[in-house]
Amino acid sequence: MLKTFAKIIPIILLLLIGTYFAYIKIFQLEPSAKITQLKGKVEKRTKEGRWIPVHIGSRLTIDEGVKTGRESEVTMTLADQSTVKIEKESELSVKEMTEAVARFKLKMGKLTADVKESKKRQFKIETEGSDAVVTTKHGIFVMTSTGKGTVVVATKTGDVELKAKEKVVKVSAGTQSKVLPGEVPKEAEVIPKSVFLKVDWPPTRKLNVKEATIRGTTDVGAMVSINGVRVAVDPTGRFEANIVLEEGHNKIRVVTEDAVRNIKEETSPELIVDTEGADLKIKAKDLWK
């Protein structure tokens, strides 16, 4: 009896192993990144192109994406515990996830990647509006993109390669590099300790319209918000936006932030909007016609 049982044990084990691998082959989930931290409203783009809310534990697979709002951010964790933090007003897509490569695309905005060391796997991030690609096997780096060709990469630890127009620049810890639309990457330089901001306020403090044009200059690749709303910055660092004002007293706040969170802000002198007074003057003038 025991001899018979001993003979069939290997057969049973082989059957169990075969069944296990067949189950894995049939029901194995696609490689994915898991949402592990979440703040504010964050949405996921499905393979079908629909946008749906995400929550802690949601997963992103190939050809899916995630975007954040004005006051939100989200962190994805990969199987090897590498993480990608997508900051406010940003959008990222998953392009490829295999044993050899994890590849993403930053449509616009800002992210911080913490890539765990791997001898086999490469970590890549492509960009919208540019052929710039970031590649690393380990390290922590920050990346910003306007979505129109301006890209900044700043490395905190490890080494990162930034490639555009067939030129590759090594961005080591403590340095950053920039890519402007249609150009090769700039040579890496030490990460600055401050960010530049100059704002041209309206020449008059009293206005008879509920709108003011705000112009200014910041560092190339920095992000600018006016009264909490992000505005476009061109490849030279200039920005311009028409800001809606309220009747009465107004102040405008401009904030710029670079890739490594150097922040500078300016607040306008008080602007007084009086459209009712302007209307009365026009009516009084019309009385003499």
Task: Give the confidence band of 201 by pLDDT, cuts at 50, 70, 90.
Answer: very high
CA 246 to chain centre: 32
Distant-in-sequence, close-in-space partners of 4: CB < 8 Å, separation ≥ 6? none
Portion of the chain with pLDDT greater than 70, in percent: 85
Which whole number is the average pLDDT over 110-114?
Answer: 97
Distant-in-sequence, close-in-space partners of 281: CB < 8 Å, separation ≥ 6? none
Which whole number is the average pLDDT over 174-193?
Answer: 96
pLDDT at residue 157 greater than cutoff 70: yes
Distant-in-sequence, close-in-space partners of 159: CB < 8 Å, separation ≥ 6? 136, 139, 170, 171, 172, 173
Determine contact, residues 249/272, Cβ cutoff 8 Å.
Answer: yes
Q: What is the pLDDT of residue 27?
A: 37
Residue 70 has a CB neighbour count (10 Å cut-off) of: 12
Q: Which pair of tokens denotes residue 44?
A: 């996921």
What are the backbone angles phi and psi of residue 104, rounded to the nearest 5°? -130, 170
Task: Give the confidence band of 211 by pLDDT, cuts at 50, 70, 90.
Answer: very high
Nearest to 114 by CA among 152, 73, 60, 77: 77
* Higher per-residue pLDDT: 12 or 69: 69
Portion of the chain with pLDDT greater than 90, in percent: 81
Cα–Cα dist 178/151, whole Å: 6
Which whole number is the average pLDDT over 54-78?
Answer: 95
pLDDT at residue 163 greater than cutoff 70: yes
* Higher per-residue pLDDT: 14 or 177: 177
Query: DSSP letter at 210?
Result: S
Q: What is the pLDDT of residues 128-153, one digit of tens each?
A: 999 999 999 999 999 999 999 999 99
pLDDT at residue 167 greater than cutoff 60: yes
Cα–Cα dist 266/211, whole Å: 19
192 residue type, one letter: P
Q: What is the pLDDT of residue 32?
A: 85
Which whole number is the average pLDDT over 200-208?
Answer: 93
Q: What is the pLDDT of residue 113?
A: 97
pLDDT at residue 154 greater than cutoff 60: yes
SS3 8: helix
Q: Tokens 């704002």 sit at which residue?
A: 199
Q: What is the pLDDT of residue 30?
A: 61
pTM of the predicted model as reported, rounded to 2 decimal places:
0.81
What are the backbone angles phi and psi of residue 150, rounded to the nearest 5°? -95, 120
Cα–Cα dist 133/151, whole Å: 10
Q: Mean pLDDT across the chain, nearest whole number?
A: 88
Q: Which stretch of DSSP H or E encloses residue 9?
A: helix 2-27
Please state whether beta strands 223-226 and 263-267 pair in parallel, antiparallel, or not at all (unpaired).
unpaired
Cα–Cα dist 54/38, whole Å: 9
Q: What is the pLDDT of residues 225-280, one digit of tens each?
A: 999 999 999 999 999 999 999 999 999 999 999 999 999 999 999 999 998 865 54
Q: Tokens 């690393």 sit at which residue?
A: 136
Q: What is the pLDDT of residue 110?
A: 96
Q: What is the pLDDT of residues 7-34, one digit of tens each?
A: 566 566 565 555 544 443 433 446 889 9
Q: Could you tell me the CA-to-CA distances from 251 to 187, 199, 204, 241 in Å, in that order?
A: 40, 13, 13, 15
Please report the domains of the chain, with CATH numbers, ordered by start residue.
Answer: 33-190 (2.60.120.1440), 197-277 (2.60.40.10)
Q: What is the pLDDT of residue 24?
A: 38
Which whole number is the average pLDDT over 110-139?
Answer: 94
pLDDT at residue 180 greater than cutoff 80: yes
